[in-house]
Homo-oligomer: A and B are copies of this chain.
Amino acid sequence: MRVLGVDPGLTRCGVGVVDGTPGRPLTMVGVGVIRTPAEEEIGPRLLRVEQGIEQWLDLHRPELVAVERVFAQHNVRTVMGTAQASAVAMLCATRRGIPVTLHTPSEVKAAVTGSGRADKAQVTAMVTRLLRLAEPPKPADAADALALAICHIWRGATTNRLAAAVATAKQSSPRSREYRR
C-alpha cells in the first residue's frame, strides 16, 4: 500500500510518501514541503498548495491520502490556514477517487512512538528508524507527513478497506445528487 501523508499548512505543507503493509518493513518513496509565500494573497497560496499536491499525486500515485485532522482549539493564529490547506489536500485526493483518512496528532505520535504525547524529536527519530534512513528525513518538518503515512499504514488495515469501499461506491455515481438548492 502506498500512502501520501499530508501535514497541512499554508506556509509549509509537509508531504511524505511511504510504501508498506502492516507487519512488514516500510519504505520511504519521497518527502518534501510545499511552501507558499506569506506575503501573497490567500487565493494564490491555496492554488500553489493545490498544484503542489497534484504534482505529488501525479508523481507517486498513492492509493490513500492521510491528512492530519485539524482542531479549532489549536493555535488560533495558524488554524485557519491549516484547515484551508487540509481542505485543498482532501479535495485533490477525492477528485481522483483516492480515499482520504484523517488522523489526530496524538494518534500519529502514538502510532510511531508508542506515546500520544511524544515530542517532535522523538517522532523524527522513530520515523528515521522505521523507514531505515541513514539520517533524519529532510526537510526536517516533513517528518510529520511521513509519520502520518506510517500511522495510516499501521492503523488503517480495517479502516482503509472501509474507506476504499465507500469511495468506490461513491465514485460509481459521482454526479447523481450533486446539486441540491
Chain A residues close to B by CB (< 8 Å): 32-35, 41-44, 46-48, 50-52, 55, 70-73, 76-77, 79-80, 83-88, 90-91, 93-95, 99-100, 102, 139, 163, 166, 170, 174-175, 178-181
- Distance of A133 from chain B, by nearest CB (Å): 17
Q: State the oligomeric state as a number of copies.
A: 2
- Per DSSP, chain A at the interface is helix
Residue pair B94, A181 in contact (C-beta under 8 Å): no
The chain B residue with its CB closest to the CB of A174 is: B47
| Beyond known contacts A47-B91, A47-B174, A51-B179: 16 more, CB 8 A cutoff | A32-B181, A33-B181, A34-B179, A41-B100, A41-B163, A43-B90, A44-B94, A47-B94, A48-B178, A72-B72, A72-B80, A73-B76, A80-B83, A83-B83, A84-B84, A88-B88
Residue pair B73, A179 in contact (C-beta under 8 Å): no
Residue pair A50, B91 in contact (C-beta under 8 Å): yes
**With contact pairs A42-B102, A91-B50, A93-B43 given, residues A76 and B84 touching in the complex (Cβ less than 8 Å):** no
Question: A34 vs B181: C-alpha distance in the bound complex, in angstroms?
Answer: 6
Question: A170 vs B44: C-alpha distance in the bound complex, in angstroms?
Answer: 8
